[in-house]
Structure 1
Amino acid sequence: MGKKLIIVGRSEFIMSEFKNCNLLALMPCPLKVPFERLITTYLRKKEREGVYLDCTIVANANTHLSFYEEIDNFQDIKEIPDIIISPGLNNLFYHDFYDKFIRPGYFRNPIKYDFEDNFVEIGYQDSRNNYTMFTMNLLVLVVNTARLKGARVPLKFADLLADNYYQNVAIRGRDEFICETVLLNFYKEYGLAGIKKLSYNVREGLHPSQMVKKAKSNSEEDEAIYVMPYFFARTLINHKKIEVIWPEDGALINAISMLVKKDITLEVKELARYIAGPELGNLFARAAFPVANPAVEINVYKKNKFKWLGWDFIRQNDLRKVMEEITAYYLSFQN
């Protein structure tokens, strides 16, 4: 029998337990339940056709750090599931993994669209066809205008470096984990000086659900400005005293990628195509995760700007070393 294993309530993740999986997916919180539902339906359909696929969906929000750390333990391509889905520019993009498994050509994007993908103008897809960039999590600004203390509403991410937002900003993070999308983009554009200014202005790191609660609270002690996923921000659009800002310099793209082995069965390749196909694509887009598939309508996003870190930066820099350096520098200015 084929099986779908959902990991629930485990904070420690042991990658070696899942090396024989056809699919291992670490999904952003808002997508986990609907993704699980459609994948379950797909697997049942395939079982009726005599096709059995072993899929694992990581369902614990606290598992992501150990998930990423376990990637470093891969020594052989046989230890890696056929398909890995993960959010963010994580260990799968670090030079260690790239040199061991990407450069030799073990992974290949199996997705071919009939037309140009939805984000061709910003170069979101990997031109070397190793990584499959099929959807994205967008970060925007949410502002409680009652707490700005006389400062103007920030209209772009660059504004967050202004002195008058001191200790009045929150970004995604917990303990010593800071959102890599925010740090890397600020470092790319403003260097270490920008990281220092950002750290001065950020009071704390929060989960997006905590940001929503604080943004609409009546407490004057909570921050005025929040960098949060659009999925969460859109729930605050009509809330009194709150402005949801699509930044003039573009919503930050937190990548959601899929790595697909080159040497896989037709059935696994069909699974990858289903994941990047219109059925799941429409589900993602409705949840504020626009997709690359041109068969999915995303006009609501097309009129806006996007800020993507870019493949040149990703390939030219060892993101592990960069993140270690800028995270330590950022934390050194936190109170």
Structure 2
Amino acid sequence: MKRLEHLMQSWQQTDEASAPGKADLLLYAPCPVKLVVKERIEAIAAAQNPALTTHIPMGCTSVDPYDPLYMETDESRLPSVIASIGYGDFWRGEFVRRFVQTGIFESVQPRVLNPLYAEAGLVDPAGAYTIYGVTPYIFLIDHKKLDGLPAPRNWEDLTHPRYRGQVVMCGDGDDMADAVLLNQYKDYGEPGVTGLAANIKSFMHSSRMAKVCGSAAPDAGGIFIIPLFFAESTKLPGHVEVVWPEDGAAASPLYLLAKKSEKERLAPLLNFFANGFGDIGSAAWFVPMDGSRPSRLPHHARLKWVGWDFVENNDVNSLRDILALKFRRLQAGAACGS
């Protein structure tokens, strides 16, 4: 984990042109679509007069001068649009109280709302956050590894003791499938978290999951919790089944916060998120908010979102971190006892 002193030093050393607060857009995008999103955004920004400034980090290891942005206290130093993924810093309680709940951000809407968003309640009733896409977590099932066990069909199934040592969880370093843990906790309480942790065989990066599912790899199990993009981007063996959970794919948000005072000036950028993100072919697996295009998802697909009441009543960033730490400790204990 990055040390705060290192981050603050990096911030101070960053030149004035790219110092925090100077960008019209700060964007963190999912790796599979990051490059093409960056190209589209930069083309839109360059076409404006004057050109808009953007900060779109591409690497995963370098120190980002915007990392401590959540600690900012001056609204004028915030980028005009902040776009990110998951339940990171811009869901922190202090940031939410300081900026989100004070009304400086206003959401944007697509021309046609994706019906999955309406069903799951993804539109912020307070009108601050805009969820323009999601990372849906589904199941890949290796029937050979399950060896006659029934495939899980919903998230509660994954807590059943019959799947002990069968579940491979999306996780890399400190990162984990935050939407999975938060939904398990919200719907089933601590037993939902502990039951799943007891069944975990290994943690694995999403890209490797798709490669080893169905193989004889020693760390592969019979059930993989995997982002939809990776499940759909690899040719799978015949004995591997893609299962969309009956109660919905756990949805981790791709979202933005746009300053109300800047919405008119930045309308071309905001229109990309509201209506243009779905023009990217691979964005179909991130379920764009814009519902004007034919869906490539199965007809029974649903999304499982923690809900805005849960977000309002919990510091979801802190809760995510607590659950992730507890989950790894529980899994390590289960592995030692197996």
**1:311 counterpart residue number:** 308
Structure 2: segments with no counterpart, 5+ residues: 1-5, 13-18, 333-338
Deviations 1:139-192 (A, max 9, x none): 110112211144222222221111121122122223343321111000011111
Question: Could you tell me how far 1:270 is from its partner in structure 2?
Answer: 2.7
Q: Which residue of 1 aligns with 2:59?
A: 60
196, 199, 208: which is aligned to 2:197? 199
Give how far 1:26 is off.
Answer: 0.5
Task: Give matches, 1:154-169, under 5 Å.
Answer: 154-169=152-167
Q: CA separation in 1, counterparts of 2:90 and 2:132?
A: 16
Shift of 1:131: 0.5
When residues 295 and 204 of structure 1 are mapped into structure 2, their CA distance, relative to the original with a 3 A threshold, is same
Alignment of 1:219-230 (within 5 A): 219=217, 221-230=219-228
- Corresponding residue for 1:182? 180
3-state DSSP of counterpart to 1:263? helix
Give the counterpart letter for 2:24 in structure 1: N
> Cα distance, 1:255 vs. partner?
0.8
User: Quick check: 2:87–2:317 contact (8 Å CA) kept in 1?
Assistant: no
Asked if 2 retains the 8 angstrom alpha-carbon contact of 1:82 and 1:264, the reply is yes
Identity of aligned residues (%): 24
- Counterpart Cα distance in 1 of 2:60 and 2:299: 30
**Root mean square deviation, CA, Å:** 2.6
1:19 CA drift (Å): 1.9
Q: Kindly provide the amino acid, as one letter, of the partner of residue 86 in structure 1.
A: S
**8 A Cα contact 1:30 1:287, kept in partner:** no
The gaps in structure 1 that reach 5 residues or longer are 1-10
Structure 2 equivalent of residue 5 of structure 1: none
What is the deviation of 1:264?
Answer: 1.6
Q: Quickly say closer, same or farther: Cα 1:55–1:284, change in 2 above 3 A.
A: farther
The whole-number CA distance in structure 2 between the counterparts of 1:133 and 1:173 is: 23
Give the length in aligned residue pairs. Answer: 319
Secondary structure of 2:35's aligned partner: helix
Distance 1:321-1:304 versus aligned 2 partners, 3 A rule: same
The answer to whether structure 1 residue 128 and structure 2 residue 126 are counterparts is: yes
Change (3 A) 1:301 1:273: farther
Q: So what's the TM-score if we normalise by structure 1?
A: 0.86
Contact 2:109 2:274 in 1 (8 A): no
Aligned to 1:322: 319
Deviation at 1:329, TM superposition (A): 2.4
Distance apart, 1:221 and its partner CA: 4.7
Question: Partners of 2:181 and 2:62 in 1: how far apart?
Answer: 21
**Aligned pairs (5 A) from 1:10-89:** 17-46=19-48, 50-62=49-61, 70-89=68-87
Residue equivalent to 1:215: 213
Residue by residue over 1:74-102, the C-alpha shift from the partner in whole angstroms, topping out at 9 and shown as x without a partner, is 22112211111111122212221111001
Distance apart, 1:67 and its partner CA: 8.2
| Cα 1:114/1:43, change in 2 over 3 Å | closer
Shift of 1:54: 0.5
> In the alignment, which residue of structure 2 is the partner of 1:4?
none
TM-score w.r.t. the length of structure 2 is 0.85
Partners of 2:304 and 2:132 in 1: CA distance: 16
Question: Contact 2:202–2:219 at 8 Å: present in 1 too?
Answer: no
Query: For the Cα contact (< 8 Å) 1:237–1:243, is it kept in 2?
Result: no
1:12 CA displacement? 6.9
Equivalent in the alignment of 1:298: 295
